[in-house]
Structure 1
Amino acid sequence: MSKHPTAEQMAIIQAMAQGNTIINRTPVLKTPADYGMDYEDVFFPALDGVPLEAWFIPAEGSDKLIICNHPLTFSRYGFPGHLEPWSQFAPVNVEFGKIYKALHDAGYNALTYDMRNHGHSGAANAGLAAYGLFEWRDVAGAQVYVQSHERLKDMTVGLFNPCNGGNSAMVAMSKCPDLFEDVRAFVCPQPCSSRTASEEIGKLQGIGEFIDLLDREQQRLGAFPMARMTPHHFAANVTVPTYVIQVKDDLWTRPEDVQTTYDLLGTPDKKLLWVEGTTRRFDGYNYFGENPESMVAFFDEHMA
């Protein structure tokens, strides 16, 4: 006889389903000016027309461009985990401005955008989180914008796409490979599979034996099945040199999930770094802001 969740467990399942399915926006707290950089407010459409808000951060005299996006629940700013109520989700402040600054100081222009349903960009797809199955259109839209822009179209391009942004890039590379033929390098911190994350967080929340029920609850709210929301289905189509990092003891996932994504990548030119000494996933998002050297070296090697 199958076990049924208690009323308390069912409340946790429903809260997790809501949180995993419907994106709650986080604020854009700082601009590149707060890190001493000039920038321009720009905007462009995703491939399906959703308006995306962005910053262009110029590096004088450079013909190299890094296109950046962000994880779920973040914005181009990062994540305000030092403030309520976001600290209840993850008490880590993530500032991607430090990464943009490192790239800028290394001679790279940067274009960084809020993905759909995040930051200041447009709402779409009923506000649903899709682990790249909708958001790939934003990555493709950024490529179209750059390739049609008079100032940017002749630049050498690399990608900094963490977590859901990286998942989305892998889907986009699968669906529109022609848009990525000229991309030289792809830095992808912490790509993630929906089911693996739900299983590990579910254990922490005391509902680990009810992940199938959580999956059904999320689908009831409009989400895709968890089994579809993984980069494993798309990684083989990534032929760009790729640098993956992952917090090895991340409480919200398992190392084998990222290892599988890495192993499936279709490029022989790839690198994997395990971030050790922490169990907090969000420390992985701060890693290159605090330790930009290997990221810059990877871009320098492939974008010379």
Structure 2
Amino acid sequence: MFGNMVSDMMVKPHQSPMFDNPAFYGLDYEQVEFKTSDEVTLRGWLIKGSTDKVIVQSHFGVQCNRAGYCPKGKGIIKPWKSNISFLRQAKYLAENGYSVLMYDLRGHGQSDTGPIPWVTWGPEEAKDVIAAVDYIVARDEYKNANIGLLSICMGAASTTYAYGLDHGLADRPNIKAMIAVQPLLYDYFLDAFGMPSFLRRAGGKVTKDRIGYELGERSFLDDTHKVNVPTLVVQNQNDPWTNLDMVNKYYDGLPCEKDMMWLDIEKNRFAAYDYLGREPEKIMGWFERYL
């Protein structure tokens, strides 16, 4: 029983409702869908700005989707008390001349689940990031566009894994820059979260039965050396759910032009996700340099 409960918390798909819409912000957009290399259908919004620069936004995992975070259905203890709308930074980007592809990773929002019908914290979702980039380049109006990757938490993990794959993101010349927001490895999260060891073992056994391996067996830190575009890493220094040494290892492993932005905000991991939309100009300027 405990094993299923813990595993469900970490890998159960479709845990968050679609609570927002670009129409609420007066944005010109299109509903889109596209397939991954393993034939998973992903769905999203393509918000129309210019055709020469596009941001591909990959959201964080499990309790999120392309719209962001909504506390509805999150139980008594909620990590954040109000909606975090990722359309706020999308609106800012569109107003500054970018198109934005916001899509649901597999098992989230309105996208389908994959052959492994659980959330894997990045290894499987890496295929989704590649598919999103390839979808943009395959459209005639965007085939010559410069692409920026806005990759948040599990989105950052998935993007980094995607750089490590054969014929992965390192082979996509249209990508010019990345912003990686609070990359997080599973084991470091559990350590910081303080989950008792007996619950970790029970949950890990169930998860291994579900996806074929324990989440802690994979690490995107092994793939940082293949990231080949200028990368800004953003991290709340007061985040209680991570290990800042791990974030530094991620940053140190990047061989590309890079910078680190430490935020000094509320002692809550979700505060940085909220900050993206409240202060977008302080972060999105990274894309202005390279796109």
- TM-score w.r.t. the length of structure 2 is 0.91
For 1:31, which of 18, 21, 36 is the aligned residue? Answer: 21
- By how many angstroms is 1:214 displaced? 4.1
| Closer, same or farther: CA 128–261 of 1 in aligned 2, 3 Å | same
Which residue identity does 2:268 align to in structure 1?
A: R
What is aligned with 1:293?
A: 281
For residue 7 of structure 1, what is the aligned residue in structure 2? none
Partner of residue 77 from structure 1, selected from 67, 82, 95: 67
1 CA distance for matches of 2:229 and 2:130? Answer: 15
What is the SS of the residue equivalent to 1:161? strand
SS at match of 1:49: coil
Tell me the distance in 1 between the aligned counterparts of 2:199 and 2:41.
38
| Alpha carbons 1:21, 1:221 under 8 Å: kept | no
Structure 2: how far apart are the matches of 1:51 and 1:14? 27
- Residue in structure 1 matching 2:223, options 234, 240, 246: 234
> Once the two structures are superposed, what CA deviation does each residue of 1:162-212 show, in whole Å capped at 9, x if it has no partner?
1111111111112114542221110111111011011222x1x5x157645
Does the aligned pair in 2 maintain the 1:158–1:183 contact within 8 Å?
A: yes
Q: Describe the superposition over 1:251-304 as per-residue Cα deviations: whole angstroms up to 9, x where unpaired.
A: 21111111111111121x11111222322111111112111113221100111x
Match of 1:221 in 2: 210
Structure 1 segment 152-167 matched on structure 2, within 5 A? 152-167=142-157
- Asked if structure 2 preserves the Cα contact closer than 8 Å seen for 1:190 and 1:246, the reply is yes
Counterpart for residue 5 of structure 1: none
* 207-216 vs 178-187, which moves further: 207-216
Aligned partner of 1:102 in structure 2 is: 92
Match of 1:113 among 94, 103, 126: 103
Q: 1:65 aligns with which of 39, 54, 67?
A: 54
- What is the RMSD computed on CA atoms of the aligned residues? 2.0
State the partner residue of 2:251. 262
Give the 3-state SS of the residue equivalent to 1:245 in structure 2: strand
Aligned to 2:178: 186
Which of the residues 144, 149, 157 maps onto 2:134? 144
| CA positional deviation for 1:224 | 2.6
Name the residue aligned to 2:269: 281
Q: Is residue 2:108 matched to residue 1:123? A: no
Unmatched 5+ residue regions in structure 1?
A: 1-9
The 2-side partners of 1:87 and 1:28 are apart by 20
| Structure 1 residue 156, shift from structure 2 partner | 1.1
Q: Return the alpha-carbon distance in structure 2 between the equivalents of residues 182 and 155 of structure 1.
A: 7
Where does residue 169 of structure 1 map in the other structure?
A: 159
8 Å CA contact retained: 1:64, 1:157: yes
Which has more radius of gyration? 1
Alpha-carbon distance between aligned partners in 1 of 2:119 and 2:85, rounded to the nearest angstrom: 22
* Secondary structure of the corresponding residue to residue 53 of structure 1: strand
Deviation at 1:125, TM superposition (A): 3.2
Query: Contact 1:44/1:141 (CA < 8 Å) preserved in 2?
Result: yes
The aligned counterpart of 2:235 is 246
The Cα of 1:79 is off from its aligned counterpart by 0.8
TM-aligned CA deviation for residue 119 of structure 1? 0.3
- How big is the shift at 1:220? 3.1
* Structure 2 unmatched ranges of 5 or more: none
- The one of 169, 189, 199 equivalent to 1:197 is 189
Work out the percentage of aligned pairs sharing the same amino acid: 26
From 7, 10, 14, the equivalent of 1:17 is 7
| Amino acid aligned to 1:51 | T
Q: Distance in 2 between matches of 1:226 and 1:75?
A: 20
Cα 1:75–1:196 change in 2 (3 A) is same
Superposed CA deviations along residues 207-263 of structure 1, whole A, max 9, x for unmatched, are 157645543342133353233333212111111111111121212111111111111
The residue type paired with residue 151 of structure 1 is: E
1:167–1:191: 8 Å Cα contact kept in structure 2? Answer: yes
2:125 is matched with 135
Q: For the residues of structure 2 that align with 1:266 and 1:113, how far apart are their CA atoms?
A: 28
Are the counterparts in 2 of residues 130 and 224 from structure 1 also a CA contact under 8 Å? no
Aligned residue-pair number: 287
TM-superposed deviation, 1:14: 4.6
